[in-house]
Amino acid sequence: MSDNTNLEDRLRATYEKVGTLDIGPPPVLVTDASDARHEVHRRTRPLLVAGVAVVVVLALVIGIAALRDGSSGAPSQKQLHPVDQQKSQQPVAGQPLFPNVVPHHGADLLLAPQYVPDGYHLLYATGPDKDQPGSSSGGGNGTTQTWVKLDATGTQPVAGFTLGWGPQDLADNAPPHVSMGHQDALSAYANAEAITVNGNPGVWAEYLQTVAWEQDGRALAIAGNMDNWTGTWAEHLTRDELQAMADSVVRLPDGTYQLTAPVPGYQLVATTAGTLNTGTYGRRLVYTDGNGHGYSIQLVDDTGVPPGYSLDANARLVEVRGQRAITTPFLNGGDGGACSQIDMFLCAGAQPGVLNANYVQWLEPDSTRVTLSGVGIDPAELLRIARSLTKVSADDWAKLTAPTKNLPCAQLANCK
Amino acid sequence: MQGELDAGEGSVAFDRFYAARWTRAVAVARSVVGSASIAEELAQEAFLRVHARWDSLQAPDGYLRSVLMNLCRSHLRRSRLEQSKAAATQESVLGEPALDETWLATLRLPFRQRAVLVLRYYEDLTEPQIAEALGCRLGTVKSAHHRALARLREELA
């Protein structure tokens, strides 16, 4: 008991310190009547402006690189890699943009880059580790489908929405964008307009662009993705479109739900659980220039976080090793890696807009998820590294890991 | 700030609310996400949502808290901050102060446990109020609270 009291006092003291740190006065809130959907805009912080500027510069760099050699992460239609053109065709209706992850046990696939940028060297190599990364994020037992609409080239998302479902009492399973805690799903949407969805009680929450309803003793919600600091959608769904889709949702015999009439052009890109399993049998290569820049190459099996989960307004579809891949400055759910003493610089990329972070991610045919996470490295370079990955034998992999095998555990990410 | 919002009694009331709650809201968000700059972004977003609903809100404090927690959760899901060791190293990487050992230990907790601690020991909320703010059951709050303290005791021993 006294231990608890002592700890509670420490927590109070720590949080009080946070409250006395240099927090500035409230910034200006500006109304903008020209955009009915977003009537109020926040004043963007200088830091965010800098971050946006970095992204813009990166986009220009990518564009220039594309004009030069056609290998950009954001190619125009004319400059697509040949396989990009092949992959940019719309998939069969109802089929996911990315293949489903097939569970498999054992790190069968080992990849190493043939291209390492000048000045960079291998910092360390670890794995396969059966129990790593294995961590999870988020919470709850609900399920969320992510749907997006791609542009005419099939490489750039222009709009999106989510369909989520979970137990009716919400408990840990709030459908997407529920912001109020209550014991049933619909009362969670305070001041929402009561509607009927497919004969079931539902609500329309304007401020969340969400249609929520109860069906078969479950709570469901379709949320039109709103713009946020990770990007601005080129298109937005209307209330009528969202409700029409909600009316078309049917329950399948296995207890999941199917959207039978998505708005034309939208496709399912990811199905994720509320608690994200980042994967098993992690194997990881980390390279650095010794000056705070670097990248990791992370392979995991059995991931519950497919690439489509990160297909937001900033992401682009590219081709890597014959597979459809995403390149993005914001990776949903992370790569499953963690930073420690030796590769602390990689964690600097976790803050959007703060440093030049970029990611490339795809699924290999055997469902191994490959993620390249770069900080302070040109996205086009990261993509070039990704495309240089080739299969290596277990013996060759052992040669990569051997030099860092005896590093102190505390220095290595994902080390227990 | 006040002059640029809609005129009227409701707007004046919101302005007062905004000015009075700003610092605490940023501190709460910062304690959950571990970053001052992100915390201010999330707090601004939360206040904007409160403003959008201001005329119909019966309990703006509760609504602000719920929206802010939801934004923090969304942010953490979109980043790697919730990964085990990342958050603990984040502050020093970005040049922000690592307050103390307890602060670093709390940042290694998963979102729900972190949020429960902040709401309990900074906001002084009861467990039912925390359940309301986080949109989960009382039992979930109790277990998260218990696990968070147990883990902190272990880490800070």
CATH at A112: 3.30.200.100
The answer to whether the Cβ–Cβ distance between A179 and B67 falls below 8 Å is yes
Question: Pairing relation of β-strands A29-31 and A40-42?
Answer: antiparallel
Q: Are residues A152 and A129 in the same domain?
A: no
> Residue B139: is its pLDDT beyond 60?
yes
Among partner residues B73, B132, B149, which is closest to A7 by beta-carbon distance?
Answer: B149
Q: Are residues A315 and A214 in the same domain?
A: no
Q: Where is average pLDDT lowest: A105-109, A137-141, B39-43, B57-61?
A: A137-141
Last residue of a domain, one of A216, A250, A276: A276
Q: Is the pTM of this model over 0.80?
A: no
Position B135 confidence tier, pLDDT thresholds 50, 70, 90: confident
Characterize A145-160 residue by residue with b for buried, 16 or more Cβ atoms within 10 angstroms of its Cβ, and e for exposed: bbbbbbbebbbbbebb
Mean pLDDT of B100-115: 86
CA–centroid distance for A252 within its chain: 27
Q: What are the chain B neighbours of A28 within 8 Å (beta carbons)?
A: 1, 4
Which runs of consecutive H residues, i.e. helices, occur in A268-351?
none
Q: Are residues A247 and A237 in the same domain?
A: yes
Q: Are residues A203 and A110 in the same domain?
A: no
Q: Are residues A245 and A341 in the same domain?
A: no
Q: Are residues A289 and A270 in the same domain?
A: no
What is the predicted pLDDT for the residue at A285? 93
In a domain, A356, yes or no: yes
Q: How many domains does chain A have?
A: 2
A138 in contact with chain B, both atoms CB, cutoff 8 A: yes
Q: What angle, 0 to 180 degrees and rounded to 10, lies between the N-to-C axes of helices B138-156 and A2-20?
A: 90
Q: Give counts: helices (H), strands (E), chain A.
A: 6, 20
Q: Are residues A321 and A200 in the same domain?
A: no
In a domain, A385, yes or no: yes
B19 → chain A, closest CA residue: A26
Instruction: State both tokens at B101.
Output: 């050992």
Beta bridge partners of B107: none
**CATH code, residues B2-156:** 1.20.140.160
A37 in contact with chain B, both atoms CB, cutoff 8 A: no
In a domain, A243, yes or no: yes
Pair A141, A76: CB distance under 8 Å: no
Parts of chain A with a pLDDT under 50 = 1, 31-94, 135-139, 169-182, 350-354, 416
In a domain, A80, yes or no: no
Q: Are residues A170 and A290 in the same domain?
A: no
Q: Are residues A143 and A253 in the same domain?
A: yes
Q: Are residues A150 and A224 in the same domain?
A: yes
In a domain, A30, yes or no: no
In a domain, A160, yes or no: yes
Distance from CA of A229 to the nearest CA of B (A): 9
A339 → chain B, closest CA residue: B86
In a domain, A149, yes or no: yes
Last residue of a domain, one of A217, A247, A276: A276
What is the predicted pLDDT for the residue at A410? 55
Give the integer Cα–Cα distance in Å for A280 and A3.
36
Mean pLDDT of B24-33: 91
Mean pLDDT of B70-99: 56
Provide, rounded to the nearest whole percent, the portion of chain B with pLDDT above 90: 12
Q: Are residues A215 and A316 in the same domain?
A: no
Domain of A99 in residue numbering reads as 90-135+278-411
Classify the C-alpha dihedral A126-A128-A130-A135 as positive or negative: positive
Give the integer Cα–Cα distance in Å for A43 and B14.
17
What is the predicted pLDDT for the residue at A84? 35
What is the predicted pLDDT for the residue at A415? 53
The answer to whether the Cβ–Cβ distance between A332 and B77 falls below 8 Å is yes
Q: Are residues A227 and A108 in the same domain?
A: no
Residue for token pair 């005419």? A152
Give the integer Cα–Cα distance in Å for A306 and A271.
8
A205 → chain B, closest CA residue: B53
In a domain, A224, yes or no: yes
Among partner residues A19, A191, A339, which is closest to B86 by beta-carbon distance?
Answer: A339
What is the predicted pLDDT for the residue at A168? 54
- The per-residue pLDDT for range B71-80, each reduced to its tens digit, is 888 777 766 5
Characterize A66-100 residue by residue with b for buried, 16 or more Cβ atoms within 10 angstroms of its Cβ, and e for exposed: beeeebbbbbeeebbbeebbebbeebeeeebbbee
